[in-house]
């Protein structure tokens, strides 16, 4: 009976995500979205609700992708030192090649919308917990396998690495200097003895 949707919902959502990512929430108008997504105003509202709902769906998508890829990444990197080294260096690589200077969606949105969005704060809190836990479990497993000799508190290292990761995503928006970033990350990695 019904006429079928003429666009792929996930494809459009990904486009919207990229636009919010690049421009932020406030600076992205519904008109911007309509122009970028290639669907009409009506379809946008029918499919995704209003601007805020669309945004939250984009953000959820980003989080999901991030957590999934991080989990897989750790699974495929059995050595914890190499793993973190690769993780940071990939972040640097991304930053250097990111012509649009989008940085990290989570970081951008944190600084733009906190303290003025309570429900988003809860999402960000659980995102932080999730990632720090992934870091911690990864470190713990590495230590159990004898890859780490350090007796430093692994929770604290997890949280420091999350802080550094966020910091990289800020700093590299200003100036993505590959050598500078690599050198400073190497110093941080020297904590993993």
Contacts with a copy of itself, residue ranges (CB under 8 A) = 22-24, 26-27, 100-103, 107-108, 110-112, 114-116, 121, 124-125, 128, 152-153, 155-157, 159-160, 162-168, 170-171, 173-175, 180-181, 183-188, 190-191
Asked if 148 and 139 touch (Cβ cutoff 8 Å), the reply is yes
| 30 contacts DNA (rule: CB under 7 A) | yes
Asked if 151 and 192 touch (Cβ cutoff 8 Å), the reply is no
From 48-56, 110-118, 137-145, 158-166, span contacting DNA (CB under 7 A):
48-56
Distance CA 146, CA 169 (A): 31
Q: Is 66 exposed, middle or buried (0-12, 13-18, 19+ CB in 10 A)?
A: middle
| 3 contacts DNA (rule: CB under 7 A) | yes
Asked if 123 and 35 touch (Cβ cutoff 8 Å), the reply is no
Residue 145 in tokens: 């396998």
102 binds, among DNA, a copy of itself, none (CB under 5 to 8 A by kind): a copy of itself
Q: What is the full DSSP assignment across 35-52?
A: HHHSS-HHHHHHHH-SHH
Measured from the CB atom, the residue of 27 and 90 that comes closer to DNA is: 27
Number of residues that bind DNA (CB under 7 A): 23
From 16-24, 40-48, 78-86, 135-143, span contacting DNA (CB under 7 A):
40-48
110 binds, among a copy of itself, DNA, none (CB under 5 to 8 A by kind): a copy of itself
């Amino acid at each position: 009976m019904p006429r079928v949707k003429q666009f792929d919902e996930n494809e459009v959502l990904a486009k919207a995500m990229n636009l919010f990512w690049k421009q932020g929430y406030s600076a992205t108008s519904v008109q911007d979205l309509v122009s970028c997504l290639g669907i009409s105003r009506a379809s946008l509202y029918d499919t995704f609700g209003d601007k805020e709902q669309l945004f939250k769906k984009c953000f959820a998508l980003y989080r999901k992708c991030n957590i999934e890829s991080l989990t897989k990444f750790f699974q495929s990197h059995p050595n914890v030192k190499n793993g973190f080294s690769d993780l940071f260096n990939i972040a640097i690589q991304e930053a250097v090649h990111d012509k649009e200077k989008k940085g990290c969606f989570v970081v951008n949105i944190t600084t733009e919308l906190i303290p003025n969005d309570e429900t988003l704060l809860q999402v960000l809190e659980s995102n932080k917990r999730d990632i720090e836990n992934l870091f911690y479990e990864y470190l713990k497993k590495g230590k159990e396998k004898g890859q780490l000799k350090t007796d430093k508190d692994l929770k604290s290292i997890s949280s420091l690495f999350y802080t550094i990761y966020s910091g990289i995503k800020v700093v590299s928006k200003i100036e993505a200097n590959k050598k500078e970033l690599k050198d400073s990350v190497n110093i941080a990695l020297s904590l993993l003895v």
